[in-house]
Amino acid sequence: MTKRLAYQRSVDQTYQAFDTTAQGLSAAVATQRLDQHGRNALNQQKKTSLLQRFISQFKDFMIIVLLVAALVAGLTGEVVDAVIILLVVLLNAVFGVFQEAKAEEAINALKEMAAPNATVRRDGQVMTVKSDELVVGDVVLLEAGDVVPADLRLVEVAGLKVEESALTGESIPVEKTSETLATADLGIGDRTNLAFMNSNVTYGRAVGVVVATGMQTEVGRIAGMLEAADETTTPLQANLTQLGKALTILILIIAAIVFGLGLWRGTANVIDMLLTAISLAVAAIPEGLPAIVTITLALGTQRMAKRHALVRKLPAVETLGSTDIIASDKTGTLTQNKMTVEQVYQNGQLSPAGEPAMAPDDPLARVMILSNDTQRLADGTLAGDPTETALVQYQLDRDFPVDQTLSDLPRVAEIPFDSERKLMTTIHPLADGRYLVAVKGAPDELLKRVTQVDLAGQVTPLTATARQHVLDVNHQLATQAIRVLAFAYRIVATVPDQPTTENTEQALTFAGLVGMIDPERPEVAQAVAEAQEAGIRPIMITGDHRDTAAAIATRLGIIDAGETQAVLTGAELDAMDDRTFQRQVTQYAVYARVAPEHKVRIVNAWQKQGKVVAMTGDGVNDAPALKAADIGIGMGITGTEVAKGASDMVLADDNFATIVVAVEEGRKVFANIQKAIQYLLSANLGEVLTLFMMTMLGWQILAPVHILWINLVTDTLPAIALGIEPLEQNLMKRPPRGRQSNFFSGGVLGGIIYQGLLEGLLTLGVYWFAITYPVHASASLAHADALTMAFATLGIIQLFHAFNSKSIHGSLFKIGIWRNKFFNWAILIAFLLLAVTILVPGLNGLFHVTHLDAYQWGIVALAGILMVVIVEIVKFFQRRVLSRVNTR
């Protein structure tokens, strides 16, 4: 018998299948099985050393290209360039290691959740053993407060309730039974005669037979899924890899063409043409791009941390911005993971929970408090079953004298809850010598024992009409995903020696109904609406039943009222093959009664649709899907260490609305990186075009030192400043760019090409003008001035163009020229660094440039102004075209 079918065996068959008895295994057999099958522990994940993490940072294709460029520059004597490139690469590696060094290890966190000890019966004796020494066939004893040490088939149950939310997603503890379950393929949440490793016993007692240990348990299966899951490549990583490859091919082609044509024309020797080709390569490579991307992401993580979103991996910031789907766990993420009284039915009226407090002698209030095992701890918090604590908390919030009631009416007898009769009864002495019997339980079962009803202190017989009205109210609340408990009481003269349902739970007086729910977080509905406005589709995934899931999803706005076809259960999902589900996945927005493997299938199906999926969750059962998603989002407060360890980002406040904030930040980060890329590559294209055409025309070309200095002053501070541009208007009202988009989407590639050509043509135009209309009669001085003006123009144009790059399509004058103070200082500093090479004596000799007069500086400035004017005109017509396309 396999573990999956353990729930289908009877108690006797269980003992037989696992070769054990009610007296437990013998010590000898337990030792033999431990040696044969190994310890009851999860596999530990191999740790990654700091050195390994550091080395892994250099596997990126773009980084390899830069390392090769640094090597070539160093071998040809361009030491400064080589050092700059290496510093950029090292900075990128340090940032990556710093972020990833904080990562918790998910599988080790799973192990830490395990119970340290277990109470077992061996050789007929009850003893305590280490939980990792448990073996299949061991008989384990459970009681309230225990952590289940292995997967158990329960053989004896006394009111057992087990909290399994971390594994199944259900917020309410599960009532367990020892009965055989004949139905095949039951989901984890429906296997009520099994107790699962690492779940928590909240109520009652039980005896169970170990049917699986270690990696064979349900939580072990999750650990195995985590081990087998591949790391997802983020859109940012994919885009940078594509960009690196494209640049490498471009560089090689251009360098080869220039080198070949130069030799063919015979205007220069091999060494000169080799240096020219290297200059072109230096001009083409955006050396600062990895650092700019890293710094932009790092600054994004800092801003997100201030808003309670803690990023564990830098690329996750940008990935959020491309999110199409947010697949969210319900319990603890969309809801508060605590039961709360929402409706009260009393005296024939249904009222919201906010109604005034009940009187101290109110029968419903008394039964709510007395028929209850909640404990008040020293710090004032409540401990116990969430349903029962919700009843007490409701009265405490309304200043009901809870402690006084418990003191005045102590419990003298009880009939504990059991899953067969679905009732709990306690008995308390009254001041007049009689006794109060307080009963709570399932409405349908309790009403079978009710003969009277209390209406504002008047006790009258319960008519068939009144009984049906109570049942109708119960049904009304149940369809709203509200858990309903019924309350009744009875006054008796004496207490039976052995209270039973026959001699005590009869002829009851109905006191009322209380409806409870795990309420949605108050900010979630607004966050869902904002996500939908941003073109993001929220998906809810839960272990709760279909009706509960549909009701919560409707209240949150994830689905419309009555949209039941959008709800899919785990059993229905099992009946679909992957191809069918992938084709139909867009029809569903809510998934109920799901298992961990279902969550992974849901994530994978959306990914195969080409969507970028973010998965939120807090439980152990969420970990595989969190790892499989493009970005896993764990809960920082209620989340297990397993969920946090499998996540790319953790919400410090467990606030679903923080996800929308993070998406906004992610979109801003991508938009700013895109601006920086357009700025850098258009500038580099302008440099390549300038060098290429000067070579082809036989003009004196800019030296490598000129290109290097221009790259240093224009590719660093201005580009970094573009990375921290404020959020553009309406960015969160645009649809997600999706998985297929890249840094060249949205007109960026066209912008790079025409803007690069424009920069090159303006620089060549200034050089031609200076040669054709020289200030000096001497040919050598004229050429020197022309080269200096080309050098100044190429740098100044790029600084002017940085203003154009503040928005891909938006007008500079609407965005605001002076909004980003850091940008303004960056442009000023870059201009001064460029100017000193021409103006400061000694430096101009080092850079092989001459002094320029006011006339010459005016021509250079005019070229820079023309760059802004022409690009603004082009963007104006682009906006007109986009507006027409969007209105169609």
Q: Any idea which residues carry the catalytic annotation?
A: 329
Closest to 387 in 3D by CA, of 542, 649, 174: 174
Closest to 374 in 3D by CA, of 424, 434, 446: 424
SS3 577: coil
C-alpha span between 836 and 563 (Å, rounded): 69
Bridge partner list, 227: none
C-alpha span between 751 and 801 (Å, rounded): 12
Spatial contact of 852 and 860, defined as CB atoms under 8 Å apart: yes
Token pair of 229, please? 């899951």
Is residue 557 exposed (0-12), middle (13-18) or buried (19+ Cβ within 10 Å)? middle
Residue with tokens 């340090």: 94
Edge-to-edge strands, sheet with 325-329: 309-311, 649-651, 631-635, 613-617, 325-329, 537-541, 590-592, 567-569
Spatial contact of 613 and 603, defined as CB atoms under 8 Å apart: yes
C-alpha span between 886 and 197 (Å, rounded): 55
C-alpha span between 885 and 484 (Å, rounded): 54
C-alpha span between 643 and 198 (Å, rounded): 14
Which element (helix H / strand E) includes 486?
strand 483-492
Residues with Cβ within 8 Å of 561's Cβ and at least 6 positions away in sequence, in order, are: 554
Token pair of 644, please? 């946090």
C-alpha span between 670 and 601 (Å, rounded): 28
> What length is written for the chain?
888
Token pair of 376, please? 């008040």
SS3 357: coil
Spatial contact of 71 and 701, defined as CB atoms under 8 Å apart: no
Residues with Cβ within 8 Å of 297's Cβ and at least 6 positions away in sequence, in order, are: 236, 314, 315, 317, 318, 669
Closest to 280 in 3D by CA, of 795, 709, 720, 686: 686
C-alpha span between 194 and 215 (Å, rounded): 17
HSE, side-chain direction, 13 A CA sphere, residue 653: 16
DSSP letter for each residue of 63-122: HHHHHHHHHHHHHTT-HHHHHHHHHHHHHHHHHHHHHHTTPPPHHHHHHHHS-SEEEEEE
Closest to 327 in 3D by CA, of 615, 535, 612: 615
Token pair of 668, please? 């801003």
Spatial contact of 401 and 392, defined as CB atoms under 8 Å apart: no
Closest to 375 in 3D by CA, of 395, 403, 353, 400: 403
Closest to 617 in 3D by CA, of 222, 176, 303, 233: 222
Residues with Cβ within 8 Å of 491's Cβ and at least 6 positions away in sequence, in order, are: 430, 434, 435, 436, 437
Closest to 189 in 3D by CA, of 542, 455, 470: 542
C-alpha span between 325 and 539 (Å, rounded): 7
SS3 754: helix
